[in-house]
């Protein structure tokens, strides 16, 4: 019985797969990739003769049956998923049947679209004395949210929110954030297909106008929404700086200097 590796392909750019993930692809006897979300370019490292299948029209049972069947034939099987397997990737739903079949499992993390979106827009998700907290979540749709995890409840923290799978629900995003105390002019960043060569779209707006902006740009899917008090900090007239690099701040690698003095 071979081993099945769940590999995060990253946000879209095939060069953003990790070195370990690429090595797994290059050694795989069989690869099942999420074709609706993972660029086929990520398969360019697959060896000749590798069995490759697309899971976009498969059910969960068909996916796990395929993985078990290939693990009986090949030493190394890859399930190639978008972003990071631990975020909205049905990892545990797939792992449980494999555990039941006695198939060994490994996971290779990947770059999340949340990080890729911030990078695309040259934004920081945290800033000193602005926010030090990032919440990764989604708006309730056909999949209900657990008790206490409504967007309104989470938004009351006034920290950075990275919203997955929610661009079609921007009306509710606005409604919930306003109810949580955010302002209509709060900055919002939407990035569609972050890092996808030639397909990435970066859109900036506010809670009050981002829905119409997305409609105008025909952004309906595969988009990350970031709402944060840190957005736009590059153009602020002033901001608090990290103490780590402050000349007066002492840490184990450097002795701080007194203002106006030499030590």
User: Do residues 123 and 217 both lie within one domain?
Assistant: yes
Does some domain include residue 245? no
Domain count, the chain: 2
The pLDDT of residue 255: 72
Q: Is residue 254 part of a domain?
A: no
Residues 15 and 79 in one domain: yes
What's 76's domain CATH number?
A: 3.40.1010.10
Q: Which of 51, 73, 108 is the last residue of a domain?
A: 108
Q: What is the span of the domain harbouring residue 19?
A: 3-108
Q: Encode pLDDT of 131-148 as tens digits.
A: 999 999 999 877 888 999
257 located within any domain: no
Examine the domain organization and report whether 92 and 165 are in the same domain.
Answer: no
**Residue 19 confidence (pLDDT) above 90:** yes
Write out pLDDT tens, residues 154-210: 999 999 999 999 999 999 999 999 999 999 999 999 999 999 999 999 999 999 999
Residues 103, 42, single domain; the answer is yes
3-state secondary structure string, the chain? CCEEEEEECECCCHHHCCHHHHHHHHHCCEEEECCCCCCHHHHCCCCCCCEEEECCCCCHHHHHHHHHHHHCCCCEEEEEECECCCCCCCHHHHHHHHHHCCCEEEEECCCCHHHHHHHHCCCCCCECCCECCEEEEECCCCCCCCCCCCHHHHHCCCCEEEEECCHHHHHHHHHHHHHCCCCCCCEEEEEECCCCCCCCEEEEEECCCHHHHHHHCCCCCCEEEEECCCCCHHHCCCCCCCHHHCCCCCECCECCCCCCCCC
Do 26 and 76 sit in the same domain of this protein? yes
pTM tops 0.75, yes or no: yes
- Of the candidates 108, 124, 158, which is a domain's last residue? 108
Q: How confident is the model at residue 246 (pLDDT cuts 50, 70, 90)?
A: low
């Amino acid at each position: 019985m071979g081993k099945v590796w769940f590999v995060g392909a990253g946000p879209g750019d095939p060069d953003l797969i990790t070195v370990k993930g690429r090595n797994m692809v290059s050694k795989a006897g069989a690869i099942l990739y999420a074709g609706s979300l993972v660029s086929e370019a990520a398969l360019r490292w697959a060896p000749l003769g590798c069995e490759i299948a697309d899971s976009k029209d498969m059910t969960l049972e068909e996916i796990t049956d395929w993985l078990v069947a290939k693990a009986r034939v090949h030493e190394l099987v890859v399930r190639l998923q978008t972003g990071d397997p631990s975020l909205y990737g049905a990892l545990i739903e797939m792992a449980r049947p494999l555990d039941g079949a006695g198939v060994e499992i490994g996971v290779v993390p990947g770059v999340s679209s949340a990080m890729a979106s911030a990078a695309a827009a040259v934004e920081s998700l945290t800033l000193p004395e602005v926010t030090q907290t990032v919440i990764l979540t989604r708006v309730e749709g056909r999949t209900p949210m657990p008790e206490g995890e409504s967007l309104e409840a989470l938004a009351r923290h006034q920290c950075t929110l990275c919203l997955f799978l929610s661009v079609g629900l921007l009306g509710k995003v606005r409604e919930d954030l306003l109810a949580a105390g955010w302002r209509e002019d709060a900055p919002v960043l939407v990035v569609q297909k972050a890092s996808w060569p030639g397909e990435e779209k970066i859109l900036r707006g506010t809670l009050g106008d981002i829905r119409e902006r997305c409609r105008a740009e025909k952004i309906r899917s595969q988009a990350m929404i970031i709402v944060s008090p840190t957005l736009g900090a590059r153009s602020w007239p002033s901001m608090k700086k990290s103490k780590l690099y402050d000349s007066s701040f002492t840490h184990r690698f450097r002795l701080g200097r007194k203002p106006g003095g030499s030590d």
